[in-house]
Amino acid sequence: MHIEQIQARISGIENIATLPHVATEILSILQNQNASMRQIADVIEKDPSITAKILKISNSPIWGFSGRIDNLQRALVLLGLKQVSNIVIAVSMYTTFNKLKPNPEFDREKFWLHSIGTSQIAKSLAQKLGLNFHGEEFVASLIHDIGKIILDQFFTDTFVQILKESHEQGIPSLELEKQFLGATHAQIGAWLLERWKFPHSIIRAVGYHHNPIAVDANKDLVATIRLADVMCELWGIGFDEDIKAVDLYSDSGWRILKQFAPQIIRLDVERFLFEVDKEIEKAKMFIELVNE
C-alpha cells in the first residue's frame, strides 16, 4: 500500500472521528495571538458537560488547586487560558476516541494511560528545563500516538498483523508499519491533525516524534515529546519494545535538548524517573475524572 493510497483512504473515511465543536472552536481561537479569556469562556460555556469536567479536573491534585476553583472564570485566571484550553482538547480527544468500537488485540486503556502519562511527563520535563511551549507540549504528547487509533479503527486487519508480528518476532512496530503500509502511525496522525487544522507545531511534534532530528522547525518541542515518550516507555507503560531498549543519553531527543536546554545534563534522571510515578498517578486520575 502506498502513502498516497493511505492518505486518500483517510480523506475518504466518512465516519472518521470528529472533534466536538467546542474543541474545534478553541483551536481556531488559539490561532489568534490576541485570543482572550472571554472568547474561550464563551465557547466552553456552550457545553455544560465539558465545563463540569474542567472544574473537576482543575480541582484535582493534577493541578494543585484542590477545592479553590468553583467557576470557569476562576479556572481561567488560576490555570491560564492555555491550560484550560489544553484540558478541553484533552477531554474532547479522550471522549471522542474512547467511544469507538473495541479491538481485543489493542489495549486501549493502556494506550490512553501511555498517552496521558506522556503528556504529564512532557509538562514536568518542560518545567524542569525552563522551556515554555505555552502548553503545546501537553497537547502534542497527549495525541502523539493518535495514528494508532486510526490504524486500529480503519486498517484493523493490517494493524493486528503488525501487533502480532512485532510481539512474536521482536521486530519494531514502526518498521512493520512502513513494510505493510508504507507509512507510520506518526505520519498518519499528522495527516489527521492537518485535516482538523491543528497548529503546525503540534502536527510536526506528532509526525516526527520518532525522529526529531528530521524536523525542520520546533525541534525543541518535538525532542521534548520524544523524550517524554521514551521515559513513559522505560517506566513500563507503552507498546514499543524497541523504545524500551533505548539508551536515554544517546537518544536523539536528549541530544537535541542539550542544544536548547544545556542544563539537562544536570538533570537527575534516576530521581526524575522516580517522580514519574507521581505523573502516572495523575494520568490515572485524569482518566477516572473524564470517565465520571
Confidence class for position 13, pLDDT limits 50, 70, 90: low
274 pLDDT above the threshold of 70: yes
What average pLDDT does the segment 6-29 reach? Answer: 70
Q: Is the pLDDT of residue 6 over 80?
A: no
Give yes or no for residue 15 having a pLDDT over 60: no
pLDDT of residue 10: 65
Rounded Cα distance between 275 and 257, Å, is: 20
Predicted confidence at residue 30, as pLDDT, reads: 78
Please state the domain extents for the chain. Answer: 18-99, 103-291
pLDDT (0 to 100) of residue 287: 83
Tens of pLDDT, residue by residue over 157-187, are 999 999 889 888 888 889 999 999 888 999 9
User: What is residue 226's predicted lDDT score, i.e. its pLDDT?
Assistant: 96
Instruction: Report pLDDT for 7.
Output: 67
What string of H, E and C letters represents the secondary structure of the chain?
A: CCHHHHHHHHHHCCCCCCCCHHHHHHHHHHCCCCCCHHHHHHHHCCCHHHHHHHHHHHCCCCCCCCCCCCCHHHHHHHHCHHHHHHHHHHHHHHHHHHCCCCCCCCCHHHHHHHHHHHHHHHHHHHHHHCCCCCCHHHHHHHCCCHHHHHHHHHCHHHHHHHHHHHHHHCCCHHHHHHHHHCCCHHHHHHHHHHHCCCCHHHHHHHHCCCCHHHCCCCHHHHHHHHHHHHHHHHCCCCCCHHHHCCCHHHCHHHHHHHHHCHHHHHCCHHHHHHHHHHHHHHHHHHHHHHHC
- Model pTM score: 0.86
Question: Mean of the per-residue pLDDT values for the chain?
Answer: 85
pLDDT at 291: 79
| 63-91 confidence digits (pLDDT tens) | 777 778 888 888 888 888 888 888 888 88
Look at residue 47 in the predicted model and tell me its pLDDT: 87
Q: Is residue 140 within 8 Å of residue 221, measured between CB atoms?
A: yes
Residue 243 has pLDDT above 70, yes or no: no
Pick the CATH number of 103-291 from 3.40.30.10, 3.40.1710.10, 1.10.3210.10, 1.10.3720.10: 1.10.3210.10
Cα-based torsion angle of the residue sequence 205, 156, 110, 165 in order, rounded to the nearest 10 degrees: -90
